[in-house]
Amino acid sequence: MSSDLLNAMSVDVEDYFQVQAFFGQIDRKDWDGIEARVERNTEKVMALFDRAGVKGTFFTLGWVAERYPALIRRIVENGHELASHGMAHYRADEQEPEVFREDIRRAKALLEDAGGAEVKGYRAATFSIGKKNMWAFDILGEEGYQYSSSINPVKHDLYGMPDSPRFAYRPRGENGILEIPVTTVVRKGQNIPCGGGGYFRLFPYMLFRHNLRTMQKADNQSANFYFHPWEVDPDQPKVPGISLKTRVRHYLNLGRMERRLERLMKDFRWGRMDEVYADLLEKRPAPSAEPLQEAVPSR
């Protein structure tokens, strides 16, 4: 039986060879020489959503929009929300402020031009906004973004801000943009991931579902779930020279992913980010001449 809460379903539109874990083996300058699978896999995801009657948010690389503008149009035509994942999967915490500004500005323009729809949302590659680059939220607001989903409040070797708020808040004060963290459930004082990604393939489905239901019962909050098109592609090429940890993270249970997603979409209600968080987005005050104050995080 489905939960009554409407939850946010999102897809990070990037190809298998663009993930952070492969950067030691695959250089960006070689991307155009690799057989791309992102278009067919994203079409597969949209077909899956269509069968389930689900609309979602597609955080898409500007790199993809440049090469597959017809795919961007189809995302919008199918009723999904188009959002930005930056240009070419550069970590936000490895960019200087003006480089970051140019990156998110260019990606937004490319996506809006290809899709013919306003881009309101942004998700940093590898959830790479954290304590040392909170200025990124100011720049996102200045560049016309209304919300971000760039913080994952867990402990992880590639990302994570476990002491940040677990649910939607405005990190830079009431006039700043909305941040919508990936979903976690608290167990024994620790934030346990239950918002998708590799954890969705790692944990048994029944445990994952139990964690989501526990979070909703305890917190009465919508879930924010994400995955990637390459995760429904068990036949993707194997990248050589990677560590055992990376191999497990990337390839584990790819063959079961589509079936798990079908179950997830039956067990909970899902919608677009801008739909699920519409009330919070509409409550943003008009810009103020007063300097923004740092918000005090609270759970």
Provide the CATH number for the domain around residue 14. 3.20.20.370
- Residue 115 belongs to domain spanning: 6-282
Average pLDDT estimate for 118-128: 97
Which tens digits make up the pLDDT trace of 60-87?
999 999 999 999 999 999 999 999 999 9
pLDDT tens digit sequence for 177-215: 999 999 999 998 899 999 998 899 999 999 999 999 999
Residue 292 lies in a domain: no
pLDDT in tens, 223-261: 999 999 999 999 999 999 999 989 988 999 999 999 999
Quote the number of domains for the chain.
1
Residue 286, pLDDT above cutoff 80: no
Is residue 54 predicted with pLDDT exceeding 80? yes
Residue 266 lies in a domain: yes
What integer pLDDT is reported at residue 25 of this predicted model? 94
In terms of Cα–Cα distance, which of 61, 91, 58, 288 is closest to 170?
288
Query: Is 170 in a helix, a strand, or coil?
Result: coil
Q: What stretches of the chain show up as alpha helix (H) in DSSP?
A: 38-52, 62-67, 69-77, 97-115, 135-142, 198-202, 205-219, 244-251, 254-267, 273-276, 278-282
Helices (H) and strands (E) in the chain, counts: 11, 10
DSSP summary character for residue 163: T
Instruction: Please indicate, yes or no, if residue 1 is contained in any of the structural domains.
Output: no
Give Dmax (Cα) for the chain. Answer: 54
Res. 93: pLDDT tops 80? yes
Strand partners, 278: none
Residue 161: what pLDDT? 81
256, part of any domain = yes
Rounded mean pLDDT of 28-54? Answer: 98
Is residue 90 assigned to a domain? yes
Question: Is 296 a member of any domain?
Answer: no
pLDDT at residue 160, rounded to an integer: 59
Is 110 within the bounds of a domain?
Answer: yes
On the question of pLDDT at 296 being above 90, the answer is no
- Rounded to an integer, the average pLDDT of 154-167 is 76
Structure-model confidence comparison of residues 155 and 68, the more confident one = 68
